[in-house]
Amino acid sequence: MNALAATNRNFRLASKLLGIDSKLAKSLLIPFREVKVECTIPKDDGSLATFVGFRVQHDNSRGPMKGGIRYHPQVETDEVNALAQLMTWKAAVANIPYGGAKGGIGCDPSQLTLSELERLTRVFTQKIHDLIGIQIDVPAPDMGTGPQTMAWILDEYSKFHGHSPAIVTGKPIDLGGSLGRDAATGRGVLFATEALLNEYGKSVSGQRFVIQGFGNVGSWAAKLISEKGGKVVAVSDITGAIKNSQGLDIPSLLKHCKEHRGVRGFEGAEPVDSQSILLQDCDVLIPAALGGVINKENAKDIRAKFIVEAANHPTDPEADEILKKKGVVILPDILANSGGVTVSYFEWVQNIQGFMWDEEKVNKELKTYMSKGFKDVKETCKSHDCDLRMGAFTLAVNRVARATLLRGWEA
């Protein structure tokens, strides 16, 4: 199922559980603004290349819109719309004062040089600078982007609006980035996993984990989980998939990835078919790459007992049904990966205050927010007799609907 259809379906089910009026539901669903821009750059060899850039601003009833910018060949309108909507619900689950947005450029960053990526980012920023703003819409990194991309956006935006560190989060520390933001999504995944396992009388220590995607989120999750005694038995990235049933040596794997630009060829493991990564035997499966990877074709063969959604919308609704029948417990994306946007909020607050927190404070506050998010979702599940995904959606839609109603529509 297409990402937008899947997200809309979850929203509609939550609205129904809440008894939300259909006209209000329509207003909550339709994005505030969608922008699609042409981005043409001269490549290093002098030839021209044209890309399409997107920014979808979904909802701002609870605060400025917030969400990452993705550089990937599959970036297209429906996907960006779905991701922007998920950001609205994610910020509401975390109970941070933001609405949702998402952006991206349909490109393959691995095929562009650093200077081409810089020109592309600057052109994109020129096209959207008057639509974003510190109190309007604050971008951040996502797949294929990182602190350097944020630094270019900050610099280009500041040419139009004056020095504005709070215009992006996930930027380098030297430009006002927050300590702990780089690790935040992976650390939040660890905290959420601990809270989930705790409900079942288990802890991370001794559990076997499989992680799809070994970029920012997947690699930090693996490092922090292994430091807590979890056994990461298989991982994959675009270069391939590897496994070691005794547990991978994550510090050595991280070193290997730096030197070889991927997990392939790591000596302390055997290669496995990339397609089979999600089907490997484990206790906890963590998809941390693309959306829609768990679907009706493979759901029945998944062997994990728990799925912690570090990626956005990795599980489509048909797979949700199959997995529910099998008794697999899914911790949904809008809760599991909310650590990233939560520390982005801390970064924005620090920039506005002009005061830097130490890393210990960032991590402590993150734990508080993740624990509260988990507790709020569990309570919502109890009062609406639903699973964790519907609990998270219901909690979020209710918070956003209340803010929308309080603000009203009269001109």
Ligand X SMILES: O=C(O)CCC(=O)C(=O)O
Ligand Y SMILES: NC(=O)C1=CN([C@@H]2O[C@H](COP(=O)(O)OP(=O)(O)OC[C@H]3O[C@@H](n4cnc5c(N)ncnc54)[C@H](OP(=O)(O)O)[C@@H]3O)[C@@H](O)[C@H]2O)C=CC1
Residue 216 site contact among ligand Y, ligand X, none (CB < 5 to 8 Å, cut-off depends on kind): ligand Y
Residue type, 23: K
User: In the complex, which residue's CB is closest to ligand Y?
Assistant: 215
Regarding 337 and contact with ligand Y (CB under 6 A), the answer is yes
Q: Residue 126 CB, nearest distance to ligand X (Å)?
A: 21
- Tell me the helices (H) and strands (E) count for the chain, helix number first: 13, 12
Residue 66 site contact among ligand X, ligand Y, none (CB < 5 to 8 Å, cut-off depends on kind): ligand X
Regarding 344 and contact with ligand X (CB under 6 A), the answer is yes
Per CB under 6 A, contacts with ligand X among 257-316 are: 312
* Beta-strand pair 329-331/306-308: parallel
Regarding 254 and contact with ligand Y (CB under 6 A), the answer is no
Q: Residue 5 CB, nearest distance to ligand X (Å)?
A: 19
Q: Residue 370 CB, nearest distance to ligand Y (Å)?
A: 13
Residue tagged active-site, from 66, 90, 102, 171? 102
Counting residues that bind ligand Y (by CB under 6 A) gives 25
- Which of 69, 65, 134 minimizes the C-alpha distance to 98? 65
What gap in Å lies between CA 155 and CA 161, rounded to an integer? 10
Regarding 341 and contact with ligand X (CB under 6 A), the answer is yes
Annotated catalytic residue 102: yes
Residue from the set 126, 239, 371, 404 that interacts with ligand Y by CB under 6 A: 239
In the bound state with ligand X, the residue whose beta carbon lies nearer, of 181 and 305, is 181
Q: Residue 289 CB, nearest distance to ligand X (Å)?
A: 13
Give the strand order in the sheet containing 48-59: 33-42, 48-59, 99-106, 65-72, 137-141
Q: Token pair for residue 104? A: 């991206």
Regarding 74 and contact with ligand Y (CB under 6 A), the answer is no
Close Cβ partners of 246 (under 8 Å, ≥ 6 residues apart): 231, 233
- Asked whether 44 and 115 are in contact (CB, 8 A), the reply is yes
- Asked whether 49 and 66 are in contact (CB, 8 A), the reply is no
Regarding 144 and contact with ligand Y (CB under 6 A), the answer is yes
End-to-end CA distance of the chain: 39
Regarding 340 and contact with ligand Y (CB under 6 A), the answer is yes
Residue 390 site contact among ligand X, ligand Y, none (CB < 5 to 8 Å, cut-off depends on kind): none
Residue 217 site contact among ligand Y, ligand X, none (CB < 5 to 8 Å, cut-off depends on kind): ligand Y
- Provide the CA 137 distance to its chain's centre, in angstroms: 17
| Bridge partner residues of 240 (DSSP) | 237
Q: Given the rule CB under 6 A, which of 30-38, 49-57, 64-72, 363-371 is the region that contacts ligand X?
A: 64-72
Length of the chain: 411
Q: Given the rule CB under 6 A, which of 34-42, 192-200, 310-318, 364-372 is the region that contacts ligand Y?
A: 310-318
In the bound state with ligand X, the residue whose beta carbon lies nearer, of 20 and 192, is 192
Q: Concatenated DSSP letters for 49-86? A: EEEEEEEEEEE-SSSSEEEEEEEETT--HHHHHHHHHH
Regarding 315 and contact with ligand Y (CB under 6 A), the answer is no
Residue type, 123: V
Per CB under 6 A, contacts with ligand Y among 255-284 are: 262
- Asked whether 56 and 80 are in contact (CB, 8 A), the reply is yes
Regarding 213 and contact with ligand Y (CB under 6 A), the answer is yes
Per CB under 6 A, contacts with ligand Y among 160-189 are: 185
Sign of CA dihedral 194, 196, 201, 202: negative
Residue 236 site contact among ligand Y, ligand X, none (CB < 5 to 8 Å, cut-off depends on kind): ligand Y
User: In the complex, which residue's CB is closest to ligand X?
Assistant: 68
Inter-CA distances, 324 with 95, 305, 370, Å: 27, 11, 24
Q: Which residues of this chain interact with ligand Y, rule CB under 6 A? A: 141-144, 185, 212-218, 236-239, 262, 288-290, 310-312, 337, 340
Q: Which residues are catalytic?
A: 102
Q: Which residues of this chain interact with ligand X, rule CB under 6 A? A: 66-68, 90, 140, 142, 169-170, 312, 337, 340-341, 344
